[in-house]
Amino acid sequence: MKNYFMIFAVLLCSFQLSAQDLLDILDKETPKVDNVVTATFKGTRIVNGHSIKNRKSKELEFIIAHRFGRVNTGFGELFGLDQANIRFAFEYGLTDDLTAGLGRSSYEKTYDGYLKYALIKQKEGVHHFPFAVSLFGSIAAKSQKAIVGSERTFAESLYYVGQILIAKKINASFSFQLTPTYVHRNLTTIDADPHDIFALGFGTRLKLNKRVSLNAEYYWQFDKLVSIAARNSLAFGIDIETGGHVFQIILSNSITMIEKSFITETTGNFFAGDIHLGFNLSRTF
């Protein structure tokens, strides 16, 4: 009887060793992969400002952005609905990591163009990296005619913006982004206005269900334009994903929609009722 137990024990050990060897071989031969974290933000904008999301290669997006006047203007202005600022834009994925965009705003009849490049992606797996980094650069030109006595050259109508977008998806429901920002204007209204303004943006996304999320965004300026008593931009938005597009409903103290404007030229006090209702509507082709 003892011999049977000995034989059984030896066979069991041999089987365990063989199984372990097989598992080790399979583990060595199985390719190690990196899982790139996606859907940190559903749209290319958090609210007013850019998110790290890029268009896919050869993907074209058409965006209509609209901001009404201040809601505290009362019934006479239909709570701001009689006033409007509109921006139309096309954005195209040159590659999966590089997006280019061109737009035109009714505010100051401004044309703008930008490039956004995904430098580092948040990854899980062998080459784990805890957050994503994108680079953003834009140039804007104001084409509105100057009043007599305040004429300007084309170069004096230009504005430049550089940003580093640093984002992290914490879990399936929550993401946040930090956005160090530099804005330069070639011409200032008065000598006391700075040509260079540094700001830091904060953005979050809270997923409410499969198609709806709540976004918030705030830009803190380290320097401000004195001539217009500029304030920091604050905005809240609801993202609604409907098939081929993302629809955003927005409340903000900023009426403008490009970086040089809403970051440095906002004058409204959100908590005093200087709130602009707006929306972003995008369609991808």
Dihedral (C-alpha) 139, 145, 148, 152: value to the nearest 10 degrees?
Answer: 20
* Residue 163 predicted with pLDDT over 60: yes
Specify the pTM: 0.84
pLDDT at residue 250, as a whole number: 95
Give the chain's mean pLDDT: 87
pLDDT at residue 201, as a whole number: 97
Query: Amino acid identity of 180?
Result: P
- Quick: pLDDT tens for 226-285: 999 899 999 999 999 887 677 899 999 999 999 999 999 999 999 999 999 999 888 888
Q: Do residues 205 and 174 lie in contact, with contact meaning Cβ atoms separated by under 8 Å?
A: yes
- Quick: pLDDT tens for 14-62: 444 454 554 455 455 555 567 889 889 988 999 999 999 999 999 999 9
